[in-house]
Amino acid sequence: MLRFEVLQTDPTCEARRGRLTTPHGQVDTPAFMPVGTRGAVKGITPGQLVDTGSQIVLGNTYHLELRPGAELIEQMGGLHRFMGWPGPILTDSGGYQVFSLAELNQIDDEGVSFRSPVDGSQIRLDPETATRIQNQLGADLITCFDQCPPHSCERGDVAAAVERTVRWAERCKAAHRYPDRQWLFGINQGGVHKDLRRACAERLAELDLPGCAIGGLSVGETHDQMVETVEEVCPLLPADRPRYLMGVGMPRDVVAAVVRGVDLFDCVLPTRNGRNGYAFTATGPIRLRNAQYREDADPLEPGCDCITCAHHSRSYLRHLFMTGEMLGPILVSIHNLRFYQRLMARLRDLIEAGCAARIIEAFPIAAATADDGYLEATDA
């Protein structure tokens, strides 16, 4: 029911073209996963997601347990049926919330206690609980509970987070009830410290998990630090298993990671930026609130095949944002999601042709610098 195949590698770099088979369908890799934190990609219907070319979506263990609860979702037939999404789903474990909700949690060696942002009640997540919740949700791919340290913390704290992450992965594997229909991904931590990343990879390899994630990036490090870390970690991961770079989503970051051997990505950027009037295009961002688009009859991106570009002008889209119409964020989010899926499809084609490095010719924004005006890709 679950299988991953590397179909082709690019002779010019480490990029690889693969296929991930799950109980809910296939995913052609490299692939980008839209983020459906609470069982929905904000403002986008499942049918619209399919139309953008999205093959797999991500859900969040912490938020789905908070509301409506894993037991209810299981009672309703599992997360696929509950949210009306027919394709594969990956759930993160809630480990990222250890980082993003630091002011609401307390970490110990056994797990993490959170104060609910909804009613102030205490919520406890540990490896066994996070795994049980993901088993109940029924996602095709699930992740080990881990500790994601902030970029600013001391090396000793990063080393302690690696130790916890490895021990928690052992407990997640022991608690996992459905390994035949849900693949459990281990998560490599270690910040930007190459020796810690290497030690974490070696210890996780002993667990022989079917998938490998790289966590602890997009938390404040520079682009170059991210690239150097991915370049260090990828060769340490089993070549026959999917590699997932968690939460990294700037186009240039995605391309840099693909050419170093990463298969799966997720990020809130397409929809978060879409809701704020920022559109991704192959040649650079469009900020629709700018007055220069008031009388612009062009589509967001000439040549884009999304429904937004097919039917609406930049002038109309700007009007929607300036008047607070909810259709504006929806249409730009749809375009941004389609942009990402076009980017991934083009990468797959170029890998098959043995020339992935040419992606910048088709998507110059893949080489853009950090000051290109995009919003931060952080999500609670």
Q: Is 266 among the catalytic positions? A: yes
Q: Is 92 among the catalytic positions? A: yes
CB 314 within 8 Å of CB 298: yes
20: which DSSP letter? Answer: E
Closest CA to 49 of 333, 343, 380: 333
Q: Catalytic pick from 10, 146, 266, 379?
A: 266
Helix (H, G, I), strand (E, B) or coil at 205: helix
Distance CA 300, CA 313 (A): 7
Distance CA 92, CA 142 (A): 6
Q: Catalytic pick from 10, 92, 146, 253?
A: 92
**Per-residue tokens: 305:** 């095949």
**Per-residue tokens: 11:** 């002779």
Asked, as a colleague might, if the bond just before 86 is cis with ω within 30 of 0, I would say no
Closest CA to 73 of 162, 136, 22: 136
CB 150 within 8 Å of CB 102: yes
Ramachandran category for residue 317: left, alpha or beta (phi over 0 → left; psi -120 to 50 → alpha): alpha
Closest CA to 31 of 329, 379, 351: 351
Distance CA 288, CA 319 (A): 9
Catalytic center residues = 92, 266
